[in-house]
Every structure is written in C-alpha cells, then in structure tokens.
Chain A
C-alpha cells in the first residue's frame, strides 16, 4: 500500500492532474454561468471516458457500448424518481442498475474477444434503445423522461458536484489502474495466455474491471440526468454519445485514465467553441480527433508526458 502511495506521488501524471484540478476549482470566480454549465456536462463525460479507459486501455477490451451502462444507470434513476424516490436513492439505484446490467452483459460477453466483444456491447446499446422507444408509455420514448427533482438550480453548486464527482472517480480509477489489479489487467490485455500461465484468473479480473467501469458509468449517467432534468435516448443512450466517449478517451490518451478526462473537457469545449460553424462543427471535431490519433497515437496526455521526457 505504501508503495502504491509513493508511486502515486512520484508520478508526473498526478502532479499534472493536481495542477489542473486546482485551476478548475478557481473557475467559478472567473467565467460565466454558461461556461460553467458546459463544463459541468464535460465533467460527467469525463467520468464516462475514464471508466471506458479502464476497460479498454488496461483490459484491452473494446467496449462499443459505454452508453448501455450509462443508459441503464440514467434510466433506472429517472424511472425511480418518477415514482417519487428521493435523489440519493435514485443515484444509488442508478449505480446498482448499471452494475447489474454490466454483469448480465459481461459474464457471457467476456468469453468473446476482439470484434465479437465489441459487437456484443454495440448490440446491447441498440436493444436498450429499441426497448426504451417501444415502451414509450413508461420511459417517455424518443422525447425523454422528465425528472421530478434536480440536483440544484444553482450553476455553481452543480459545478461543484460535477467537479467533485469527477475528481473522486478519477482518483479511485487512477489508483486502481496503478495497483496490482491494474497491472494484472494490463498483462492480461497484452498477453492473455502468458498472464493466465502465471496463475492469474483473467476472467475474474476483467469482470471486476467491467463492474467498476459499470458502477462509475451508471452513477455518472444518473447524476447527468439529474443535472439536465431529463433522461432521453439522444443524451444518454444513443450510439453517437458512446462514440463521443470513445473519441474523448482515445484523444486524451489511452491507458492514462486522466487523459480521458482531459480529452472529454477538450472535446466538449471544442464543440462549443466551434458552434458558429453550425453543422460543420462535428466535421471539424472529428477531423481534429482523426489527426490526433494519426499523428499522436498517445493522445493529448502522451504529448504532455513525452515533451517532459517521462513515458
């Protein structure tokens, strides 16, 4: 444990994250409420991307359906809230529902690998989306589900919730990725047979990674809908949202956890800054992301670390 702690303090990534977090804390005194609102969404996206990175970067499993887990959490929270449950209970239920969904999906899916695993997760999203639309009388269908409660009406309070949640999740996920469990995951991702020959139970570790990824995705999904005030297919389930999460994680630099959060903030801010371009903004953002993965395969975080000679 002390080794892990020393490792954490010695890592340049942690210092970058601390400086960044300190800068983000001062923002409410410097920028308008509008920008705070955009950043709030970006932070929840950051948690989505970090949980995705735990699964992809470390376990080397491509999850094409992060929104299945996010959607399970968001809709479980939303439906409970519609029946009058308090916010805290809905959040816990959201995390639990995503965990349940994750286990149901992962237990059979982890027997598959590569493109097959990716497709199984993609199909899960498509099915969830179909069911939400088909049972529109309960779920609100395409229009969405209006929440009875929201986290707060104050932009600054919402900002603190999101920033606090992202920092806490980032800390847990990062510590986990640097712990022995993270190393075993990495080993099993790079050489499945080699790692199992060393006596590690690969499936158990990958399942654990999937469950942790699910809990954080679900919680973040539930918090996001309580911030937005509605749960709709377009914001938490659609494949396009999942694609954005993946782009954010790869853009920020895979296998870094913190990079995923930076990638999300960059992606959402870039989308906002390019809003004057209208329809072309998605084109430009995808173009930038494509250039980054073509020329800087390690992403933004890789760029930051390499320049200082620390790999």
Chain B
C-alpha cells in the first residue's frame, strides 16, 4: 500500500524533476551557460498559467499553453538582455565570462522573482489540473493529473530525444556541444544555434513550471530552490549529459519521496544533498558525465 504510494508519487515527482533538469543540462552542454534564472523562468510560466486560468477563466489547456509561451519569452529575454551582452562584452576577460554569466543570471532571476512577488504576491499558486478526477491503482487513490504529468514529461523528453538524434537541427545542436569551432567552419551560424537552444530550453522550463503549478503549486519564493534542485540534479547526473540528468532526477525524486514518507517530511532534502556531496567528491564528473 505505502510502497505503491511511494512508487507512484516518486515517479511523478521524478518525471517533473527530470523535465526541469533536461533543459538546464542541454543549455550547458550546447552553449556552456548555467542559467541561474532557471527557477524564475519556471515560476513565470506557472504564474502566467495561473493568471490566464483564474482571471480570464480560460480552459486549463489554454492556460498551460500561455504559461509555456511565457517560459519561452522569459528565456529569450534572459538571453538577449543578460547572457548575450556578457558574452559579447569586451571588458570581461574570456576566462571570467562564466562567472559573469552566473552572477548576471542570478541577479536577473532575483529581479524576476521580486517582480512576480510584487504583482502577484509570493503565495503559492495552484493551477487547476489538466484532467480532473482520481483513479485506483493497487488500492491507492491517485489523481489522474499525477499520471498525466508523468506522461507529458516523458512524451516531451521523448520528442526532445527524437529532435536531437533524428533531425538535422538536432544534429547541429549536438555538434555545437562537441566542437563549436568546427561547426562554424562548416558554415553554420553559432548564434542561430544558441537561439534554438534557448527556444527549446524555454519550452522545457515553461512546461515544467506549468505542470509544477498543477501538481504541488508554485510560488515566487521557491525560485532559488527550484534552481538549486535543477543544478544539483544536473551535476549529480553529469553536466551536459541528458540521460545522466534523467537518472539523477529519479534517484533524487525517489530518495526525497522515501525520506518524506518513511522518516519525516522535515528531512526530505537531506539524504539527496548528502548523496550529492559524496558523488561530487568521489566522482566529480557525475554519474554519467564525460570528463
């Protein structure tokens, strides 16, 4: 009974973690950017969905699409207003671009978070589930929405896999992550590739944000926590490795669910953090990362 409950809850939470982290790791793998405004992007998507569903009484699916669109817009804003100016800046030495991008996106994330809190307060926002109702699985009452979340996450991840491995645009992305210089020599415009990555990233973070709002609720105060959890999942799995991130998402998701059910919700994040510390000391490149 409890085991089934843990299995189901853990699966849905892990799928959501995985979707959130995949965009983050893809971004790092292709363009070398660690976007610390990640949590803020998810929150913008979630709050937009909440506003559209609540104030305009829209269909939940319309609200979800609006939220995802907001995620994409936020991602582009991050790129054009913060990341690109730093990457092109002459006064920042090349060796320090990384830390400037980190600080810049961190500040930008705080700005977004504060703006959202100012206009819509930092109370948690819960969006109506996409499909209402519950069903029995092995004697456990499970909201259908929870299953739907897992299905959507895996469908999106599957589509992403097809895009990257089976389409020409995806192969260009892959090439950019392996050897950007060779790619430019072949006549591809790197800035176009980066734009595509930011668009894909925006869609992934947007969907993850909206689903989070239908499941656990999202608040602007959580933004940094969301970033931290995506960051740690991605590092646990290995920076830049998509399959590693998915594996890590499941490890963290189940570890947290097990702790919350069996020990106490207060200790929820502790075992995952300790595991993370052990992994980065023993195997700094993560579970499936490349050196």
Say which one of A2-10, A29-37, A114-122, A163-171 lies at the interface with B: A114-122
| Assembly CA distance A293 to B256 (angstroms) | 37
**How far apart are B35's CB and chain A's nearest CB, in angstroms?**
12
Residues on the A chain within 8 Å of B280, using CB: 112, 116, 119-120, 123
The interface-forming segment of B143-151, B155-163, B262-270 is: B262-270
Q: Which chain A residues lie closer than 8 Å to B118 at the CB level?
A: 279-280, 283
Interface contact A282-B114, CB-CB below 8 Å: yes
Contacts of B102 in A (CB 8 A): 62, 118
Give the segment of A94-102, A126-134, A221-229 that binds chain B.
A126-134
Contact across chains for B273 and A294 when beta carbons are under 8 A apart: no
Q: Give complex CA distance A283, B40 in Å.
A: 13
Query: Are A286 and B107 in touch, CB under 8 angstroms?
Result: yes
Residue A276 lies at the interface, judged by CB distance under 8 Å to chain B: no
Quick one: closest B residue to A189, CB to CB? B95
Q: How many Å from the CB of A79 to the closest CB on chain B? A: 21
Interface, chain A (partner B; CB < 8 A): 56, 60, 62, 108-109, 111-112, 114-116, 118-120, 122-124, 126-127, 130, 133-134, 190, 239-240, 243, 246-247, 250, 279-280, 282-283, 286-287, 289-290, 293-294, 296-298
Whether B95 contacts A112 by the Cβ 8 Å rule is no
Interface of A is mostly: helix
Which residues on A sit within 8 Å (CB–CB) of B91? 296-298
27 residue pairs from A and B, CB less than 8 Å apart: A56-B99, A60-B95, A108-B281, A111-B284, A116-B280, A119-B276, A119-B280, A123-B232, A123-B276, A123-B280, A124-B277, A126-B273, A130-B267, A130-B269, A134-B267, A134-B270, A239-B228, A279-B117, A282-B114, A283-B111, A286-B110, A287-B107, A289-B107, A290-B107, A293-B107, A294-B86, A294-B104
- A88 CA / B72 CA spacing, docked (Å): 55
Question: A62-B99, A283-B114, A289-B107 known; A239 and B270 CB under 8 Å?
Answer: no
A287 with B111: CB separation less than 8 A = yes
Whether A286 and B99, one on each chain, are in contact in the complex, defined by CB atoms closer than 8 angstroms, is no
> Is chain B's interface secondary structure helix, strand, loop, or mixed overall?
helix
Residues of B99-131 contacting chain A, CB below 8 A: 99-100, 102-104, 106-108, 110-111, 114-115, 117-118
B284 near A112 with CB under 8 A, answer yes
Chain A residues, Cβ within 8 Å of B111: 283, 286-287, 290
What is the minimal beta-carbon distance from B133 to any residue of chain A, in angstroms? 37
Judge whether B235 is part of the interface by a CB distance below 8 angstroms: yes
CB <8 Å contact, B114 and A280: yes
In the assembled complex, the Cα of A119 lies from the Cα of B277 at a distance in Å of: 9
Q: Across the interface, which residues of B come within 8 angstroms of A243, CB to CB? A: 106, 110
Q: What A residues does B267 contact at CB under 8 A?
A: 130, 134
Bound CA–CA A62/B95 (angstroms): 13
- Cβ–Cβ < 8 Å partners of A279 in chain B: 114, 117-118
Q: Are A286 and B103 in contact (CB under 8 A)?
A: no
Evaluate contact between A282 and B99: CB separation under 8 angstroms: no
How far, in angstroms, from A282 to B117 measured CA to CA in the complex?
11
Beyond the given A116-B284, A287-B111, please list 7 additional residue pairs across the A-B interface where CB-CB is below 8 A. A111-B284, A119-B235, A127-B274, A130-B269, A134-B266, A279-B117, A297-B92
What are the residues of chain A within 8 A of B107 when measuring CB–CB? Answer: 247, 286-287, 289-290, 293
CA of A247 to CA of B95 in the docked complex: distance in angstroms?
A: 19
**Is the C-beta of B98 less than 8 angstroms from some C-beta in chain A?**
yes
**A127 with B273: CB separation less than 8 A:** yes
Contacts of B228 in A (CB 8 A): 122, 126, 239
B54 at the interface (CB under 8 A from A): no
Chain A residues near B89: list those with CB within 8 A: 294, 297
Q: A-B pairs with the 10 shortest C-beta distances?
A: A283-B114, A297-B91, A290-B107, A286-B110, A297-B92, A286-B107, A108-B281, A286-B111, A282-B114, A279-B118
User: In the complex the two chains form, is B266's CB within 8 Å of A123's CB?
Assistant: no
Q: Which residues of B contact A283 (CB under 8 A)?
A: 110-111, 114-115, 118
Is B203's CB within 8 Å of the partner chain A?
no
Query: Is there contact, CB below 8 Å, between B104 and A120?
Result: no
Collect the chain B residues with CB atoms within 8 Å of residue A119's CB: 231-232, 235, 276, 280
CA distance A285 to B227 in the complex (A): 21
